[in-house]
Amino acid sequence: MLDLLRFAIAILPLAAYTNVLGLMRLRSHPTVLSGAMDFLMMGLALIGLIAIGPIELFFPRAAYSLLGVWVWIVLIALYFFVVILIALNNSPKLIVYGLNATALKSTLCELLHENEVRSEWLGDIVELPELGIRACVEPAGRTAVSQIHAAGKEQSLSGWLTLERMLVHKVSNKRIDLKRQAIVWLLTSFFLFGLGTVLVSNDLPRLQQAMSMMFDSDP
């Protein structure tokens, strides 16, 4: 039973993540996320797997004997700190849910022309001297998801923020229909939520007892 409960702990955050992916595809226009936000969402989705994997493997039992369940709060807070630190130190990136790479490139060209931003294209790489950006447009998955990521180390963060604002405004006028994909993601989310909830509700007392025995430092 304990293995099933661990499975439930792992899939509940994944259920929340797939629900968000489904809701984004249910929108009538594309959704733009920064690379940091997208990474943070992934970090939240994996917290269950991390809790039953690395955190449990390297669990500080001596600290648990002194602090009790507060150790879990400290470990989870440390995990979030690491995820946020990595997200903030990643190269600038924009993820667009609802457009493939070709459509994103076309949208970006229109955006730059409308805002009179000088651009120089070399294949899928664009250089924007006025914004201090050199980026590449690529697919970010098999479905209608694409990305604009930094190509080079010298990047202007303020330029990326400006580009993000312009892109958000531009795609808000575009209409998309990804309801079929949205239904698949939402059904997956509901299934995971239901399965995880049933497993946890049925065996929560056993989990509490097993956790207490597992981390009890007394001989």
List the CATH number of the domain containing 135. Answer: 3.30.310.80
What integer is the mean pLDDT of 8-18?
90
Relative to beta strand 145-150, strand 31-34 is unpaired
List, for residues 77-107, the tens digit of each pLDDT value. Answer: 888 899 999 988 888 999 999 999 999 999 9
pLDDT of 206 higher than 50: yes
User: Residue 58: pLDDT band by 50, 70, 90 thresholds?
Assistant: low
The answer on 217 and 153 residing in a single domain is no
Average pLDDT, stretch 183-196? 93
- For 194-214, what is the HEC assignment? HHHHHHHHHHHHHHHHHHHHH
Q: Give the pLDDT confidence score for residue 218 in this predicted structure.
A: 46
Q: Are residues 127 and 29 in the same domain?
A: no
Integer Cα distance of 198 and 209 in angstroms: 18
Same domain, 80 and 187: yes
pLDDT, one tens digit per residue, over 29-39 is: 999 999 999 99
Domains identified in the chain, total number: 2
Angle between helices 101-114 and 157-171 in degrees, nearest 10: 100
- In 105-216, at which residue ranges do the beta strands (DSSP E only) sit? 120-122, 125-128, 133-139, 145-150
* End-to-end Cα distance, the chain: 25
Domain residue limits at 23: 1-90+177-219
Reported confidence tier of residue 66, pLDDT bands at 50, 70, 90: low
pLDDT, tens digit, for every residue of 146-188? Answer: 999 998 888 889 999 999 999 999 998 889 988 999 999 999 9
